[in-house]
């Protein structure tokens, strides 16, 4: 298994290009299942999760042409096998995003239930409940969701659906299913993350009729069929936020090319109150921070909530900043039940953090000291890399396959900014 070796203490300076968003690319690859015509996606990030999704689609019979430039062309002909097998789904829960498109296009689908995952049980009951409201018959047999359309209907039918909680992929699955349903669907309590309006923009480009994406109420009027489209994946706000926090910790001045400030308001607000300088400039974001965060930056309390609140996917990264800033902070994780696994590893690096249920109490320290640490999930691995950048001496981050799921060439981007980091087999 690969690991990263980091010599801490270097400031970050220069320019970094932010890649396409993982959490937009994954549903948008599945949206290609909704049409028999070719769909071209630009700015698709080169990530393990994207590779897994492409394997899943290829396994169904989707014709895929991938260019090194991050352009992917997909054609889901009528001869598709609407199945998502366990061996692929178990490695990536986002595979459940194939369920809505397959069912609404082909009238039946066999999709493995996603296993659990490190950060929580992450059930898909809301996806199932919503599809059932649209006339789907879904039985769980031998670990698979066997979905079909009730009473031999050819199409799902529009429905008014209120999910019990805000769910990002639940909203995406139901929005995609509704594009080919008979009549109007209204999604109440819909997720508002920027990846949802980006998906809606792609679907509308395919001929779908959608209003309100990005708000808590989305209206979709079903159509008979969707045509092909060319779409550019929105930039990754979590990768951008991760680099903002990294510069805040190490000090330096970096231009984040392609970063979109509108998608990061809650994170930028906290970074600015901590004492980081962030400017929105043409084509991206400019961030600068003084060396030695313990002298210059103030720790910030926050609680993760649904968009536009502070994103749970930025909780582990911001915790590193709190660990080395001055003062103390209280971090509350309200979305997932087990998303503090990075804490024990940060404590090994010398951080002072105590967990009390959903709350972590952090006391900033003047220095972290390098050590061997182990990644446990995607965003935890990013936080350990960041901690390694500021810790004194050498830090080795193991199991970085977690990092490769959601960050494109992280170590080469950091090295280009002056970090002393290398990947060893």
Contact residues toward ligand EPZ (CB under 6 A) are 22-23, 26, 94, 120, 122-127, 165, 167-170, 312-313, 335-336, 378-379, 406
> Between 10 and 263, whose beta carbon lies closer to ligand EPZ?
263
In the three-class reduction of DSSP (H, G, I as helix; E, B as strand; rest coil), residue 152 is classed as: helix
Q: How far apart are CA 87 and CA 114, in angstroms?
A: 10
In the three-class reduction of DSSP (H, G, I as helix; E, B as strand; rest coil), residue 185 is classed as: strand
Min. distance of Cβ 286 from ligand EPZ in angstroms?
A: 25
Quick check: 358 and 380 in contact, CB under 8 A? no
Query: Between the CA of residue 369 and those of 77, 178, 212, 380, what are the distances in Å?
Result: 55, 52, 49, 18
The tally of CA atoms less than 13 A away on the side-chain side of residue 314 is 32
Min. distance of Cβ 379 from ligand EPZ in angstroms?
A: 5
Min. distance of Cβ 295 from ligand EPZ in angstroms?
A: 32
> Among this protein's residues, is 249 annotated catalytic?
no
Sheet containing strand 144-149, strands side by side:
83-84, 108-112, 144-149, 136-141
Burial 310-325 (b: 16+ CB within 10 A, else e): bbbbbbbbbbbbbbbb
Min. distance of Cβ 101 from ligand EPZ in angstroms?
A: 15
Catalytic residue among 30, 117, 245, 249: 117
Which tokens hold the place of 249?
Answer: 């910790």
> Between 19 and 169, whose beta carbon lies closer to ligand EPZ?
169
> Between 127 and 342, whose beta carbon lies closer to ligand EPZ?
127
Min. distance of Cβ 253 from ligand EPZ in angstroms?
A: 27
Query: Between the CA of residue 237 and those of 21, 232, 248, 290, what are the distances in Å?
Result: 7, 15, 16, 23
Quick check: 417 and 13 in contact, CB under 8 A? yes
> Between 52 and 179, whose beta carbon lies closer to ligand EPZ?
52
> Between 35 and 126, whose beta carbon lies closer to ligand EPZ?
126
Residues involved in catalysis: 117
């Amino acid at each position: 298994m690969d690991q990263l070796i980091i010599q801490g203490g270097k400031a970050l300076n220069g320019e970094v290009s932010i890649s396409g968003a993982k959490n937009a690319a994954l549903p948008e690859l599945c949206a290609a299942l909704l049409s028999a015509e070719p769909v071209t996606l630009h700015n698709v990030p080169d990530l393990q999760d994207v590779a897994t999704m492409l394997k899943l689609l290829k396994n169904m019979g989707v014709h895929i042409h991938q260019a090194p430039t991050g352009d992917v062309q997909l054609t889901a002909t009528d001869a598709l096998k609407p199945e998502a097998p366990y061996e692929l789904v178990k490695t990536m829960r986002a595979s459940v995003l194939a369920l809505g498109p397959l069912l609404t296009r082909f009238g039946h689908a066999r999709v493995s239930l996603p296993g659990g995952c490190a950060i929580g049980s992450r059930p898909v009951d809301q996806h199932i409940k919503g599809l059932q409201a649209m006339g789907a018959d879904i039985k769980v047999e031998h670990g698979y969701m066997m979905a079909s359309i009730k009473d031999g209907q050819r199409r799902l039918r529009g429905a008014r659906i209120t999910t019990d909680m805000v769910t990002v992929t639940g909203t995406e699955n139901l929005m995609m299913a509704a594009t080919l349903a008979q009549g109007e669907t209204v999604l109440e309590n819909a997720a508002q993350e920027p990846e949802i309006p980006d998906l809606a923009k792609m679907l509308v480009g395919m001929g779908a009729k959608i209003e309100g994406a990005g708000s808590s109420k989305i209206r979709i009027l079903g159509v008979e069929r969707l045509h092909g489209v060319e779409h550019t994946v929105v930039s990754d706000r979590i990768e951008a936020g991760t680099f903002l926090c990294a510069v805040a910790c190490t000090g330096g001045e970096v231009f984040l090319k392609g970063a979109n400030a509108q998608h990061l308001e809650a994170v930028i607000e906290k970074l600015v109150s901590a004492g980081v300088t962030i400017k929105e400039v043409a084509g991206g974001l400019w961030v600068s921070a003084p060396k030695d965060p313990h002298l210059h930056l103030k720790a910030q309390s926050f609680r993760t909530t649904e968009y536009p609140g502070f994103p749970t996917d930025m909780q582990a990264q911001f915790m590193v900043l709190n660990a080395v800033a001055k003062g103390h902070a209280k971090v509350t994780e309200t979305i997932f039940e087990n998303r503090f696994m990075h804490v024990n590893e940060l404590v090994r690096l010398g951080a002072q953090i105590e967990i009390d249920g959903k709350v972590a109490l952090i006391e900033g320290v003047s220095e972290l000291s390098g050590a061997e640490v182990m990644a446990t999930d995607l965003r935890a691995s990013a936080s350990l890399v960041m901690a390694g950048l500021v810790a004194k001496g050498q830090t080795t981050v193991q199991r970085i396959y977690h990092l490769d799921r959601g960050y494109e060439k992280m170590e080469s981007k950091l090295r280009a900014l002056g970090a002393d980091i290398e990947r060893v087999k």
